[in-house]
């Protein structure tokens, strides 16, 4: 990986240590606006690291329930301008009609919050029910997977500023994606899993972030039955994990973790 590519920029900075300073080149994680457009209508603008943009758009579309599967995505084009990145997607008439109805009802949930709703009455924390059973052997594989993360986090190694989402099968990381936003990293991973037709009953997701409610919802939407996070869970994440049947393990560090829902 070279600087000024793969989501990383270089910047001249002054580094201080005690009373001394020196000018050095620093590596900075990129954060750009990405507009997601469906059948000519802009639905959301997300701040994300501009890598694997097509996978991000696919994962977002699936995890937010805009598409039920990638067969409903007929075409996708990524365009870059001085303002940012635009992803133009052509989707099925069914998916587009459902999206327009969602916009009409002002239930505009995004990957990082509940933007677009006007009152608490509109807040509906419905969540998909998971239909597959996690393997108890996966709990033994969590520390093994955690030990592999550092070597595969290329953007984080340079910048210290990215989250990672990884897919684990039999204790081995099969795919890993990074982004400045934890939900974006997960969407990139989910887009990849869907594109490559991975069987989500065979593995689980590991995240380098805290476990917040939107990560639970996105995993449940794709029928992923176990999420392991390095940092703490939120109360809403635990509530939704129990509601959906997702197994949630957090504070996954070295050979230790805390299980918040029973397997």
Enter the tokens of residue 9.
Answer: 């920029």
Catalytic residue among 112, 115, 219, 252: 112
112 is catalytic: yes
Give residue for tokens 């990145």. Answer: 85
Closest C-alpha to 116, from 42, 217, 211: 42
Three-state DSSP class for residue 192: helix
What's the rounded Cα separation, in Å, for the pair 158 and 136? 35
How does strand 32-38 pair with strand 41-48?
Answer: antiparallel
What's the rounded Cα separation, in Å, for the pair 203 and 200? 6
Length of the chain in terms of residues written: 263
Burial per residue of 69-85, b for 16 or more beta-carbon CB atoms within 10 angstroms, e otherwise: eeebbeebeeeeeeebb
Enter the tokens of residue 184.
Answer: 């974006």
What's the rounded Cα separation, in Å, for the pair 253 and 68? 34
Enter the tokens of residue 157.
Answer: 């190694």
Give catalytic residue positions. 112
């Amino acid at each position: 990986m070279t600087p000024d590519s793969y989501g990383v920029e270089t910047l001249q900075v002054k580094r201080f240590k005690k009373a001394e300073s020196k000018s050095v080149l620093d590596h900075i994680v990129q954060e750009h606006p990405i507009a997601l457009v469906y059948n000519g209508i802009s639905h959301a603008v997300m701040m994300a690291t501009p890598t694997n943009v097509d996978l991000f758009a696919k994962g977002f579309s699936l995890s937010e329930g805009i598409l039920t599967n990638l067969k409903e995505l007929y075409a996708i084009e990524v365009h870059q301008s001085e303002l940012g990145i635009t992803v133009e997607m052509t989707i099925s008439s069914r998916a587009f009609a459902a999206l327009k109805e969602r916009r009409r009802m002002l239930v505009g949930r995004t990957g990082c919050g509940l933007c677009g709703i006007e009152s608490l009455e509109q807040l509906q924390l419905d969540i998909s029910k998971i239909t597959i059973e996690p393997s108890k052997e996966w709990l033994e594989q969590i520390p093994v997977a955690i030990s592999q993360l550092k070597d595969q986090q290329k953007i984080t190694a340079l910048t210290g500023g990215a989250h990672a989402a990884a897919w684990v099968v039999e204790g081995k990381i099969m795919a890993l994606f990074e982004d400045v936003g934890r939900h974006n990293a997960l969407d990139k991973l989910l887009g990849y899993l869907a594109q490559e037709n991975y069987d989500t009953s065979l593995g689980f997701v590991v995240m380098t972030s805290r476990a917040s409610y939107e990560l639970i919802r996105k995993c449940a939407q794709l029928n992923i039955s176990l999420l392991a996070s390095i940092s703490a869970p939120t109360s809403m994440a635990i509530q939704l994990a129990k509601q959906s049947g997702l197994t949630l393990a957090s504070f996954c560090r070295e050979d230790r973790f805390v299980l918040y829902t029973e397997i």
